[in-house]
């Protein structure tokens, strides 16, 4: 019997690459993103080339009750979810006191609230079935405060801590939760977060979204609690635990700040 993967933020970047992987494995898909037109294209492509069923939902997940609406729609369609991938999220760059509060609020709603609500809704069914896997997209930003990206880094720290805790709660029921922590990746993220020209991206040879997705998929299937992509990212993430926090914050700002 085919399994079904639900992927949020599935129209581009890591989410799209994860959808491709699941399609290649013969998994049915539920794809959620704001761009319905893009989802229609993906549905046609995946169903034609992989012989799977693809159900699409156009939804702005930063809006209240969006996760519940998706859950209820799938219940009405009798679609059970075996793999939940909470990929939808975005960042923003700039000094917090000078930021657009509406954008910061939407970031919190999407990166934290929607992700948590999706997890709560679908994990209960997984526990009852005693099977299921969840992957929450965190970041190497999860491991330290990030001046000029204060809310984004804090939201990803939440994702990491939340995922590790819930994984511990449910693993005895045959369910796993994986926090995937990519570093800077070649995708549309840097443009959306206004990070072009920052030390994080400028002049760097970055991994592709496809490479990160393959790594994340393998980690999820193995049931790993935390998966940090790349040796240097792993080194940096762990070294922050042994350095004075004021130094960690200063280094983070140097990396995230744009070059003059």
CATH label of the domain that carries residue 115:
3.40.50.720
Q: From 95, 99, 104, 193, select the one nearest 147 (Cα to Cα).
A: 95
Full strand arrangement of the beta sheet holding 226-228: 54-58, 28-33, 4-8, 83-86, 132-137, 175-181, 226-228
Residues of the domain holding 47: 4-256
**Residue 178 β-bridge partners:** 135
Whole-number pLDDT of residue 231: 84
152 part of the active site: yes
Tokens at 186, concatenated: 């070649």
Question: Is residue 180 within 8 Å of 138, Cβ to Cβ?
Answer: yes
Whole-number pLDDT of residue 13: 95
Number of domains into which the chain is organized: 1
User: What mean pLDDT is predicted for residues 85-112?
Assistant: 97
How far is the C-alpha of 109 from the C-alpha of 216, rounded, in Å?
A: 24
112-126 tens-digit pLDDT: 999 999 999 999 999
Tokens at 251, concatenated: 């280094």
142-184 tens-digit pLDDT: 999 999 999 999 999 999 999 999 999 999 999 999 999 999 8
How far is the C-alpha of 180 from the C-alpha of 87, rounded, in Å?
A: 10
Query: 55, 71, 83, 152: which one is catalytic?
Result: 152
Higher-pLDDT residue of 53, 232: 53
Is the per-residue pLDDT at 196 higher than 50?
A: yes
**Cα 126 to Cα 47, 85, 100, distances in angstroms:** 26, 14, 38
Whole-number pLDDT of residue 235: 77
pTM for the model stands at 0.88
Higher-pLDDT residue of 130, 200: 130
% of the chain surpassing 70 pLDDT: 89
């Amino acid at each position: 019997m085919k399994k079904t993967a639900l992927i949020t933020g599935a129209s581009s970047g890591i989410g799209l690459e994860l959808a491709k992987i699941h399609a290649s494995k013969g998994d049915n898909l539920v794809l959620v993103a704001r761009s319905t037109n893009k989802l229609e294209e993906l549905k046609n492509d995946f169903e034609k080339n992989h012989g799977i069923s693809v159900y699409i939902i156009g939804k702005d997940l930063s809006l209240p009750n969006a996760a519940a609406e998706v859950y209820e729609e799938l219940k009405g369609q009798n679609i059970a979810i075996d793999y939940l991938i909470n990929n939808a999220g975005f960042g923003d760059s700039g000094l917090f006191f000078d930021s657009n509060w509406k954008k910061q609020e939407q970031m919190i709603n999407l990166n934290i609230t929607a992700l948590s609500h999706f997890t709560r809704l679908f994990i209960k069914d997984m526990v009852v079935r005693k099977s299921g896997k969840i992957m929450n997209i965190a970041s190497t930003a999860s491991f330290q405060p990030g001046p000029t990206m204060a809310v984004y880094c804090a939201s990803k720290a939440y994702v990491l801590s939340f995922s590790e805790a819930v994984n511990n709660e449910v693993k005895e029921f045959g369910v796993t939760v994986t926090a995937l922590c990519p570093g800077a990746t070649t995708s549309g993220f840097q443009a959306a977060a206004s990070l072009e020209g920052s030390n994080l991206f400028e002049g760097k040879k970055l991994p592709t979204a496809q490479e990160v997705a393959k790594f994340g998929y393998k980690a999820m299937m193995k049931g790993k609690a935390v998966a940090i992509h790349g040796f240097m990212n792993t080194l940096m993430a762990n070294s922050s635990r042994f350095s004075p926090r004021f130094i960690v914050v200063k280094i983070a700002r140097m990396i995230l700040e744009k070059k003059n």
